Structure 1
Amino acid sequence: MTDLLTLEGVHTNIGRYHILQGVDFTVPEGKTTMLLGRNGAGKTTTLRTIMALWPASKGEIAFAGRRIEAMATPDIARLGLGYVPESMAVFSDLSVKENLILAARDGELDDKRLDWIFGFFPALRKFWLSRAGSLSGGQKQMLSIARAIVEPRKLLLIDEPTKGLAPAIIGSLIECFAEIKRSGATILLVEQNFHVAQQIGDTVLVMDNGTIVHRGAMADLAADIPLQERLLGLSLEAHQ
């Protein structure tokens, strides 16, 4: 199994706060890796550090064998990384169509890929010409994910995509992520909905206090309730 992403001894300081304190992990190519942990463990900071939105103060980050920790965010994105932030960060004054055009290569949308995206998120077709700011929270999340996959990506970094969403929309997201994985993409996904994590995760990383404290198969963690409670302070079963 080839590792597409590798972090070695990564530290991140934000102001006077030392958030990441020597993060080490790998993300295997073609798999979905879940990044779990309690609130404040450093999960979002990890994703933002990989994308150079917050610079690593120490350590190495390699994507497909290439060091990227000193690269600018746009250059990292051009290597084939897509990022879906927790805040969604859609362009509120632009239409759904315009948001996707901005994310597309050379501003050209592929009709076949759009139809594929609409299959998961039909609301985006319905509100194609509507301002993104007028969408509901769930619809904005759909748009944020659609922007990240409007072009094929080698690696997707996704931060809590199901937060605040209705169960029906979560079901569509699960189908979407499964299809993205079948297409050959690799996913690193931060998620607090452990039922979702159990369904789509192949491997799992657990963070605590800015370091990785557990790594292994998602199925093994899902089957070990005492380990879940020790690492996360609760069980997956309690959140299904």
Structure 2
Amino acid sequence: MRDLLTLEGVHTHIAQYHILQGVDLTVPEGGVAVMLGRNGAGKTTTLRTIMGLWGASAGTIRFDGTDITRLDTPAIARLGIAYVPENMGIFTDLTVRENMILAATGGAMESARLDWIFALFPPLKTFWDKQAGNLSGGQKQMLSVARAVIEPRRLILIDEPTKGLAPAIIKSMTAALAELAKTDTTILLVEQNFAMARSLGQTVSVMDDGRIVHSGDMAALAADAGLQEKLMGLSLEAHQ
């Protein structure tokens, strides 16, 4: 697999705080790359820095060989990168349909693409003309991911999509992301649900104190309880 995204020595400051302290990260093209780490380790800041929402103060970010470190967010999005934030970022006063129209280029949604999204997330079709603010937490998360992929994307950054969701909804979200990963879209997933992360991820990076402290195959990390304990202070087996 060739590398689709690379971060080399990336630092990010937010006001007086030095959050990212030399992040080196590689995301292979295809499938799911998972980023793990304790709360406050810098995972969300990494995603936001990749997306240009927060500027890197040092280092280089390359997407498919192109330096995107100093590009603004709209330019990064036009290269085929989408971001699903932890807070979902949907417009609660608008309908599901209106949310999707706003996410589509020129407001035009291809029927075949929409049918594919409805197959991934059936509730969106059911509540198509309902106000997004009236959806359940799981349905809002489905809408957030659907907005990000209403256009074909080469890379989607997803920040903790199962946070606060019921087990049945987590199962549905996991299945949908697995289907998305079979397409030409690469996923960089930040996730605290380790059972989900293990089931989806081919590669894994572990972040601590603003740095990547481990990178490798997810299967190898999942099989090594001692390494899990060393890196994260807990075992994946505790989250089955």
Give the TM-score category using the shorter length: over 0.9
**Residue 91 (structure 1) aligns with:** 91
Q: CA deviation at 1:227?
A: 0.6
**Residue 186 (structure 2) aligns with:** 186
Per-residue deviation, residues 179-213 of structure 1 (Å, max 9, x unmatched): 11211211100000000011000000000000000
Question: Which whole-Å CA distance do the structure 2 matches of 1:4 and 1:122 have between them?
Answer: 31
Residue 62 (str. 1) matches residue 58 (str. 2): no
Describe the SS at the equivalent of 1:220. helix
Amino acid at match of 2:223: A
Describe the SS at the equivalent of 1:86. coil
Moved more, 165-174 or 56-65: 165-174
**Residue 230 (structure 1) aligns with:** 230
Residue 80 (str. 1) matches residue 72 (str. 2): no
Describe the SS at the equivalent of 1:76. helix
Question: Which whole-Å CA distance do the structure 2 matches of 1:98 and 1:172 have between them?
Answer: 24
Q: CA deviation at 1:137?
A: 1.3
1:151-190 to 2 correspondences below 5 Å: 151-190=151-190
Describe the SS at the equivalent of 1:219. helix
User: Identity of paired residues, percent?
Assistant: 66
CA contact (8 A) 2:31 2:182 kept: no
Question: Which whole-Å CA distance do the structure 2 matches of 1:105 and 1:177 have between them?
Answer: 22
Question: Which whole-Å CA distance do the structure 1 matches of 2:145 and 2:85 have between them?
Answer: 9
Describe the SS at the equivalent of 2:61. strand
Amino acid at match of 1:221: L
Question: Which whole-Å CA distance do the structure 1 matches of 2:69 and 2:239 have between them?
Answer: 36
**Residue 23 (structure 1) aligns with:** 23
- Normalised by the size of structure 1, how large is the TM-score? 0.98
- Cα RMSD over matched residues? 0.9
Question: Which whole-Å CA distance do the structure 2 matches of 1:82 and 1:107 have between them?
Answer: 17
Amino acid at match of 1:145: V
CA contact (8 A) 2:37 2:208 kept: yes
Q: CA deviation at 1:59?
A: 0.6
Question: Which whole-Å CA distance do the structure 2 matches of 1:212 and 1:183 have between them?
Answer: 27
Question: Which whole-Å CA distance do the structure 2 matches of 1:151 and 1:43 have between them?
Answer: 25
Residue 50 (str. 1) matches residue 50 (str. 2): yes
**Residue 213 (structure 1) aligns with:** 213
Moved more, 23-32 or 106-115: 106-115
Question: Which whole-Å CA distance do the structure 1 matches of 2:175 and 2:135 have between them?
Answer: 22
Per-residue deviation, residues 120-162 of structure 1 (Å, max 9, x unmatched): 2111111111111121211111100000111110001000001
- Normalised by the size of structure 2, how large is the TM-score? 0.98
Question: Which whole-Å CA distance do the structure 2 matches of 1:84 and 1:105 have between them?
Answer: 17
Per-residue deviation, residues 50-98 of structure 1 (Å, max 9, x unmatched): 0011110111001011111111101100100011000001011111001
